[in-house]
Amino acid sequence: MSRTWIELGSTAALSGLYLRAARKRKISGDRLPGTGLRCHLSVDPKQLQAYRKLCHFSDDGRLPPTFPHVMAFALQMQLLTAKDFPLPLLGLVHLHNSIRVLRPLGGINRLRFSVHVENLQPHEKGATCDLITEAEDGLGLIWCETSRMLCRGLKLSGDAPAVDEPETLPLSELTRWYADSDIGRRYAKVCGDYNPIHLSAASARLFGFPTAIAHGMWSKAMALAALRGHLPVSGYEIGVAFVKPVRLPSEVILNASPAAAEGQLQLDGHGELVHMRGAWRPLS
């Protein structure tokens, strides 16, 4: 489909976007908008430093592969709270996230981001759509991300697409970490994602969770930081499925296949609980 792009000089304030999200609680349609947003965004050195510390990334002169997601967060929020987006943002479930690093993320001060939604389709628990985020420098596309979101209240005709399950590789423990009770608030302070399900047990219970849960993108960032010896500088894709939320506080264990061009990872809890599964591969 042809897409209409809206060029922005800056993103809207997050405070206003959260108010807009809180006001919309109902599904308003079953068609995704044909518009997208574009905006030039600069790296905030203080935010980058705080993010590296929070997610255990070393300062190697390159942006962490998950940091452009943080840079684009307000732009994504602006798209998902617009009047023509039919799904209520509060209540959407992040099922899957895939990041492609096309070229090295070094020496970057400013990027041009584009965000849009596509691929509305049936799911056994409702319907899903893909939030597409792309970042360009002066040479063209350098990074892109697909986040698959589930809306439980929307029912579409047709069957949910079949999901191919790859053959599981042998995994062994790479590292483990403790997700303490305030990691959701600390992540929100750095990244701006103040979803109530991550902030406290009291606010999480309003959305059906018995306790606060960790941000999925914090778990993915921690995993990528631990996998730095497994991944190349660029030319790869790493996707993860968020299986079961990490309840706070809890300890998690990252298991991974040996360092190779292609590999798999799994974030486990105790008692055979699987939080996240994923894989990386070179770009063709």
Contact call for residues 173 and 124 (beta carbons, < 8 A): no
Report the pLDDT averaged over residues 90-96.
Answer: 93
Looking at domain 1-157, its CATH architecture is: Roll (3.10)
Q: What is the per-residue pLDDT across 50-69, written as a single tens digit (0 to 9) for each?
A: 999 999 999 999 999 999 99
The predicted structure's pLDDT at residue 40: 98
Residue 159 — pLDDT band, cuts 50, 70, 90? confident
CA separation for the pair 161, 232 (Å, rounded): 32
* pLDDT, mean over the chain: 96
The predicted structure's pLDDT at residue 164: 77
CA separation for the pair 133, 184 (Å, rounded): 23
CA separation for the pair 16, 22 (Å, rounded): 10
169-284: what fold?
Answer: Thiol Ester Dehydrase; Chain A (3.10.129)
Contacts for 229 with CB less than 8 Å, ≥ 6 apart: 259
Report the pLDDT averaged over residues 81-110.
Answer: 96
- Can you read off the two tokens belonging to residue 102? 């096309």
Closest CA to 36 of 126, 131, 109, 103: 131
Q: What is the per-residue pLDDT across 1-37, written as a single tens digit (0 to 9) for each?
A: 689 999 999 999 999 999 999 999 899 999 999 999 9
According to DSSP, the residues that pair with 274 across neighbouring strands are 268
Residue 91 has pLDDT above 90, yes or no: no
Residue 125 has pLDDT above 70, yes or no: yes
Whole-structure pTM value: 0.96
The predicted structure's pLDDT at residue 264: 98
CA separation for the pair 246, 216 (Å, rounded): 8
The predicted structure's pLDDT at residue 1: 63
Residue 75: other Cβ atoms inside 10 A = 22
% residues pLDDT > 70 (the chain):
100
What is the CB-side half-sphere exposure of residue 66 using CA atoms within 13 A?
A: 27
Q: What is the per-residue pLDDT across 228-253, written as a single tens digit (0 to 9) for each?
A: 999 999 999 999 999 999 999 999 99
Report the pLDDT averaged over residues 191-206.
Answer: 94
Residues spanned by CATH 3.10.129.10 within the chain? 1-157, 169-284
